[in-house]
């Protein structure tokens, strides 16, 4: 290209230089505004807390119920014969020993019956002696053919009848003596008097309860479990029992019995636990709380820890449950989890979480992966207890704050 041609081209380009400079400047200005606008949008507020493993074995969360102390065995104490109560030697709360007399009936009538039975026994024995003597005489005379055969037979019959009458009188005398003894109420076992049901001077029927006796020995605590908790209970399961009346004391117990049928009114199942070492400080009727440790399954050693999170923290990708985790740089990450059980307000997660993960507790369907967020504690402190203490540096949500999706 010649010098003249090059000069002409430069002159033509000079015509458009000013508009081009204006266009490029406007483009850079708009880009700067867009970046400033993007930077001015604050991170979204999400309700989140760090999670920690549930206490106990990895088989699930512990079960807690109110309990009441009761004797394993107890029975009402009553007289076996009717009569008038003339003496009571025990009161509620007294400890009694086996064979100890606790009450007595008026024994006059029983003593008369025993005396009558004794007299009848003596008369029967004399008749046996007389019948024996008569039979011996008849046998001697019959050998000499001095009496008829039917007379000998009558003597033999009279002797056998006398023996039977003596046996009958002996049995009646035993019954009379027993009735006399039954006028005295004796403790059949070592135990504690739990109730008084008759007063001195009262006429009681045979079998009417006079005292309630709780046997000494093994001590049980009873609770009423809901049907939804039965899968987490089993015979032999360990538990810890505490009583408000015994501050600082934690007693070991073990599940002894689970009732197979529900109570018709409450629809709960009675569970009995045996205190391993109750001691003298535990009294019948005391109330407290029992925490049953989670059961260990056959693969409990290899199983991961469980985490209890609110039901609102579970996000479902189709049929797969997951939770939102606040990761590096406060960005959201979706982690698949394994759910072991659902309940009305909480969910037990058995895999996919680790200690300290900050989990979004609410609004899980309004966020997206990679979103920058700021974690805030729940409005109520009770909700914060679900997942553990607050994360460092997080804010607190108040009524004036909004949670941005």
Q: Whose structure tokens read 């001015």?
A: 40
The mean pLDDT value for 134-148 works out to 91
pLDDT confidence tier of residue 21, bands split at 50, 70 and 90:
very low
Domain end (from 292, 318, 343): 292
- Alpha-helical runs (H) found in 215-258: none
The confidence score (pLDDT) of residue 390 equals 41
Report strand pairing: 238-243 vs 219-225. Answer: unpaired
pLDDT over threshold 60, residue 63: yes
pLDDT over threshold 60, residue 302: no
DSSP 63-89: EEEEEEEEESSEEEEE-SS-EEEEEE-
Q: Of 6 and 247, which is predicted with more confidence?
A: 247
Report residue 237 as tokens.
Answer: 């399961």
C-alpha span between 392 and 254 (Å, rounded): 40
Q: Which range is least confidently modeled, 40-44, 241-245, 275-279, 322-326?
A: 40-44
> Burial of 204 by CB count in 10 Å (0-12 exposed, 13-18 middle, 19+ buried)?
buried
The mean pLDDT value for 328-349 works out to 85
C-alpha span between 117 and 199 (Å, rounded): 31
Report strand pairing: 373-377 vs 44-50. Answer: parallel
The partner residues of 30 in beta bridges, in order of sequence, read: none
C-alpha span between 277 and 254 (Å, rounded): 11
pLDDT over threshold 50, residue 399: no
Query: At 312, is the secondary structure helix, strand, or coil?
Result: helix
CATH number at residue 209: 2.40.50.100
- Alpha-helical runs (H) found in 60-218: 108-143, 149-182
pTM of structure: 0.53
- With beta carbons less than 8 A apart as the criterion, state whether 82 and 205 touch: yes
pLDDT confidence tier of residue 320, bands split at 50, 70 and 90:
confident
Same structural domain, 97 and 199: yes
C-alpha span between 188 and 99 (Å, rounded): 6
CATH number at residue 313: 2.40.420.20
Same structural domain, 283 and 190: no
pLDDT over threshold 90, residue 282: no
The confidence score (pLDDT) of residue 3 equals 40
pLDDT over threshold 90, residue 344: no
Q: Which range is least confidently modeled, 48-62, 193-207, 388-402?
A: 388-402
Same structural domain, 320 and 367: yes
Indicate the number of domains in the chain: 4
Structural domain contains residue 77: no
The confidence score (pLDDT) of residue 12 equals 54
pLDDT confidence tier of residue 400, bands split at 50, 70 and 90:
very low
Range of the domain at 288: 63-72+217-292
C-alpha span between 395 and 383 (Å, rounded): 15
Structural domain contains residue 143: yes
Residues 6+ apart with CB under 8 A from 147: 138, 141
The mean pLDDT value for 112-121 works out to 95
The confidence score (pLDDT) of residue 99 equals 93
The mean pLDDT value for 268-283 works out to 88
The mean pLDDT value for 123-137 works out to 94
C-alpha span between 64 and 239 (Å, rounded): 9
Same structural domain, 202 and 87: yes
- With beta carbons less than 8 A apart as the criterion, state whether 387 and 49 touch: yes
């Amino acid at each position: 290209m010649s010098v003249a041609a090059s000069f002409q081209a430069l002159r033509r380009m000079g015509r458009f230089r000013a508009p081009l400079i204006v266009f490029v400047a406007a483009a850079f200005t708009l880009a700067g505004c867009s970046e400033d606008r993007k930077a001015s949008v604050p991170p979204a507020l999400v309700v989140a807390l760090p999670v920690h493993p549930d206490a106990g074995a990895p088989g699930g969360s512990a079960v807690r119920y109110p309990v009441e102390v009761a004797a394993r065995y107890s029975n009402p104490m009553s007289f076996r014969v009717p009569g008038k109560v003339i003496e009571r030697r025990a009161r509620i709360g007294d400890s009694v020993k086996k064979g100890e007399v606790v009450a007595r009936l008026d024994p006059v009538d029983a003593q008369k019956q025993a005396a009558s039975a004794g007299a009848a026994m003596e008369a029967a024995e004399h008749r046996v002696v007389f019948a024996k003597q008569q039979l011996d005489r008849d046998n001697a005379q019959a050998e000499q053919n001095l009496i008829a055969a039917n007379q000998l037979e009558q003597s033999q019959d009279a002797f056998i009848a006398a023996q039977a009458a003596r046996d009958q009188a002996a049995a009646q005398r035993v019954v009379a003596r027993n009735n006399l003894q039954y006028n005295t109420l004796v403790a059949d076992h070592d135990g504690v008097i739990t109730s008084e049901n008759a007063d001195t001077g009262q006429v009681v029927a045979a079998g009417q309860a006079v005292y309630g006796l709780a046997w000494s020995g093994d001590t049980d605590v009873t609770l009423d479990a809901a049907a939804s908790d039965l899968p987490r209970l089993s015979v032999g399961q360990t538990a810890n029992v505490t009583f408000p009346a015994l501050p600082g004391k934690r007693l070991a117990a073990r599940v002894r019995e689970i009732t197979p049928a529900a109570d018709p009114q409450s629809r709960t199942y009675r569970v009995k636990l045996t205190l391993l070492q109750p001691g003298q400080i535990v009294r019948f009727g005391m109330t407290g709380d029992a925490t049953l440790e989670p059961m260990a399954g056959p693969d409990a050693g290899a199983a991961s820890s469980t985490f209890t999170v609110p039901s609102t923290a579970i996000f479902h990708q189709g049929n797969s449950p997951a939770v939102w985790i606040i990761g590096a740089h406060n960005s959201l990450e979706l982690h698949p989890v394994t759910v072991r059980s659902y309940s009305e307000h909480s969910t037990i997660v058995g895999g996919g979480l680790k200690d300290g993960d900050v989990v979004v507790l609410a609004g899980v369907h309004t966020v997206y992966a990679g979103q920058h967020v700021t974690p805030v504690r729940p409005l109520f402190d009770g909700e914060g207890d679900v997942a553990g203490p607050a994360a460092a540096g997080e804010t607190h949500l108040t009524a004036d704050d909004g949670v941005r999706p």
